Chains A and B, each alone.
Chain A
Amino acid sequence: MSTSSLTASELGLVLRRRRNLILLVVLAAAPLIIGLALRLSTGEPRGPNPGLLAEVASNGLFLGFSALILLTPFFMPLTMAVVSGDAIAGESAGGTLRYLLTVPVARGRVLAVKYTSCVVFGLVAAVIVVASGMIVGALLFPVGDVTLLSGQTVGFTGTVGRALLMASYAAVMLAGLAAIGMFISTLTEVPATAMATTAAVPVVAQILGAIPQLSGLHPWLLTDTWRVYGDFLREPMMLETIQRGLLTQAAYAVIFLSLAWARLTTRDVTS
């Protein structure tokens, strides 16, 4: 089988698995909950970013951005932890890994196929969050031109364009985590362990990122560039931080994929 048809069938498996579907439904529902809460609440929104939520009330499309920003710290990485943690450990637990590893398919290809479907799943998840946010926002609130952080306004096409860019960025951030999840997944035969460990990674990174005394460490953290969505909402966009985010995730991805490959290659098939 060619790598692309393998990837397509693996992706089909990932997307059809009931647990993963439920995760996507939860992600799609989250903007609805946020939107309803905003619609029903009276008075000025409070919290760390009142401006972000206040903007939704005047323009529903903004909910797409807000949902992505609010779900990035925990819910989206949790979803990716489940999918990537399951990737190899799930096959081990099901007893199917030995077949995968003994068929004349290079183990690197098994890894590539699994990783690719994780990355695509992440992109699907991010697009669902943004799309759901924009649709819910359009239903619950008035819709119009979106005012960017810099004070300029963009029309519908510009808004959707920026939303897609932000979703792609979110998918790349999740791809960095997916590589870590793949590696952890090769270390254990218990999928739940791999998922929980992977889910803990961004949590720990964000806690470290919140401690000012560790500022020297911050630029190296996986999650340091996870929240720079605001830089997509400026005119002109702040490409420097976006580029740094992409490079950081690429660095994490190559390191952990190479670790996962080494682990899978040296792994005793009969175990």
Chain B
Amino acid sequence: MSSLRSTLFSSSRLPWTVPLAVTSLVLATAVAVPRIADADADLPDRSAGQLIVALAESREVPLAGTIVHSADVGIPELPRFSSSGTSPLSLLSGATSLRVWYADETTYRLALYGDLAETDLIRDGNDVWYWNSDQNVVMHQRADELEAATEHKQNPTAGLPTETLAELALLAVEESTVVEVDGTVTVAGRAAYELVARPRDDRSLIGEIRIAVDGDHGVPLRVQVIGTDGGDPAVDIGFTSVAFDEPDRSVFDFTPPPGATLEEFDMSRWFADADDEKFPSDLEAEVVGDGWTSVLVVSGFDLDMLMDHFREMTDGVQEFGDLSGLVDAFIAEMRPTVGPYGTGLALESRLFSALWLDDGRLLVGAVDVDVLEDAAEGRTSTP
């Protein structure tokens, strides 16, 4: 038997068909399985208004899942803010994965994963914890204090039914934005509607914003910001897996580990600071234009002074990384410009432009630099 097999095989090339078949099968599986999961979903028709209601009501839905965030805004690779990239600032460029557990509005956890590091934000009832494994730092905040600090910013429309609010929202944006449902998609293996918001003004750098809304639960599964230049989404944040079950309570347990630095964090101080005279008083901001092409004009912009203020405000808290590295990366990317408005530096990216003039004005908007230059000259351009 064995000799028969060897004469059959060793004289032919027949055995090589086995690895060929195995390789084809493995590759086909690796390529096809995600595609099958992404097959087009079949859902009954819904209007944009119905989807907005579903989105608004989805905060009742418990879930656990993994989110992958990738940003390609067209700015240079930013320097690594912390050694392993779990600073919240790492969300600005590259790809990041997060895991989220959500039981209800007062019980949730968000974990930002780095290579060998993790940043967690956990709210369990009245305790809000921030944990950064890189810095070995725990920050704790009482939720009732946080709410007291932000209370005066309460929404006056809170008492209205969701349907009315959805209609109001649609009406409010109608003049500047097309909002429509653009068929269905599959995200993280779930059938979802795709809600699209598209600026009517074609000078905006934002082509459209697509939100995938879960067909059953109304939870936003993916948000994509697509530039007018086409190509890959400039920002793409979405679930790669999600389960709508009540998460196990143990994921919300947090006790500061021994040896970690524990800081009682008072977020209300930040809000107080913002209203306070601590901000440079000659710094003035106004918005020129409206809708998608509005331009933020900040005058009296002094970078060094602002950096000093930032450092002062955060009390040297290093968790957010080194901001000056970020600023330097931006400045390195800016090109000098000259115009009737004077001289300055301009930055263009896929989603926004910035113009920093020598007279201390900083103009930022989701528009081309031309629109910023018009605004700098004081011409409020109309489409």
Other-chain residue from A151, A227, A254 in contact with B256 (beta carbon distance below 8 A): A151
Expressed in whole angstroms, the Cα–Cα distance for A265 and B10 within the complex equals: 6
Tell me whether A48 and B118 are in contact (CB under 8 A). Answer: no
Tell me whether A48 and B133 are in contact (CB under 8 A). Answer: no
Nearest A residue to B99, CB-CB: A238
> Which of these binds chain B: A35-43, A50-58, A79-87, A196-204?
A50-58
Bitwise, A208-235 to B at CB < 8 A (1) or not (0) is 0000100000001000000101110111
Q: Which B residues touch A212, using CB under 8 A?
A: 77
Tell me whether B26 and A255 are in contact (CB under 8 A). Answer: yes
Tell me whether B117 and A240 are in contact (CB under 8 A). Answer: no
Tell me whether A251 and B113 are in contact (CB under 8 A). Answer: no
Q: Which A residues touch B117, using CB under 8 A?
A: 51, 149, 230
Expressed in whole angstroms, the Cα–Cα distance for A105 and B6 within the complex equals: 11
Q: 8 Å CB contacts to A: which residues of B251-295?
A: 251, 253-260
Expressed in whole angstroms, the Cα–Cα distance for A251 and B28 within the complex equals: 11
Q: Which B residues touch A51, using CB under 8 A?
A: 83-84, 116-117, 133-134, 136
Q: Which A residues touch B131, using CB under 8 A?
A: 150-151
Tell me whether B23 and A255 are in contact (CB under 8 A). Answer: yes
Expressed in whole angstroms, the Cα–Cα distance for A7 and B352 within the complex equals: 64
Tell me whether B113 and A238 are in contact (CB under 8 A). Answer: yes
Other-chain residue from A238, A240, A255 in contact with B22 (beta carbon distance below 8 A): A255
Nearest A residue to B16, CB-CB: A262
User: Mostly helix, strand, loop or mixed at chain B's interface?
Assistant: mixed
Nearest A residue to B70, CB-CB: A215
Looking at A69, A265, A269, the one whose CB has the most chain B CB atoms below 10 A away is A265
Q: Is A9 an interface residue (CB 8 A)?
A: no
Nearest A residue to B25, CB-CB: A254
Bitwise, A234-247 to B at CB < 8 A (1) or not (0) is 11101010000000
Q: Is A49 an interface residue (CB 8 A)?
A: yes
Tell me whether B111 and A49 are in contact (CB under 8 A). Answer: no
Bitwise, A143-187 to B at CB < 8 A (1) or not (0) is 011010111110000000000000000000000000000000000
Tell me whether A150 and B133 are in contact (CB under 8 A). Answer: yes
Tell me whether A254 and B133 are in contact (CB under 8 A). Answer: no
> How many residues of B sit at the interface, in one of the four size bands?
35 or more
Q: Is B120 an interface residue (CB 8 A)?
A: yes
Other-chain residue from A50, A106, A147, A234 in contact with B259 (beta carbon distance below 8 A): A147
Other-chain residue from A69, A145, A234 in contact with B258 (beta carbon distance below 8 A): A145
**Given A151-B254, A258-B22, residue A266 in contact with residue B13 (CB < 8 A):** yes
**Given A48-B83, A49-B84, A153-B258, residue A240 in contact with residue B66 (CB < 8 A):** yes
Expressed in whole angstroms, the Cα–Cα distance for A77 and B197 within the complex equals: 51
Nearest B residue to A59, CB-CB: B259
Q: 8 Å CB contacts to A: which residues of B111-140?
A: 111, 113-118, 120, 129, 131, 133-134, 136, 138
Residues of A within 8 A of B (CB): 48-52, 54, 58, 69, 104, 106, 144-145, 147, 149-153, 212, 220, 227, 229-231, 233-236, 238, 240, 251, 254-255, 258-259, 261-262, 265-269
Residues of B within 8 A of A (CB): 2, 5-6, 9-10, 12-13, 15-16, 18-19, 22-23, 26, 30, 66, 77, 83-84, 99, 111, 113-118, 120, 129, 131, 133-134, 136, 138, 240-241, 248, 251, 253-260
Q: A149-B117, A149-B133, A151-B129 are in contact. List 11 more A-B contacts (CB 8 A).
A: A48-B84, A49-B84, A150-B111, A151-B120, A151-B260, A152-B254, A230-B117, A261-B18, A266-B9, A266-B12, A266-B16
A-B contact pairs, 16 of them (CB 8 A): A51-B83, A51-B116, A147-B257, A150-B118, A151-B118, A151-B120, A151-B133, A227-B115, A238-B66, A240-B240, A251-B26, A258-B18, A259-B19, A261-B18, A262-B15, A267-B10
Which 7 pairs show the lowest CB-CB distances between chains A and B? A258-B19, A147-B257, A262-B15, A151-B131, A149-B118, A258-B22, A230-B116
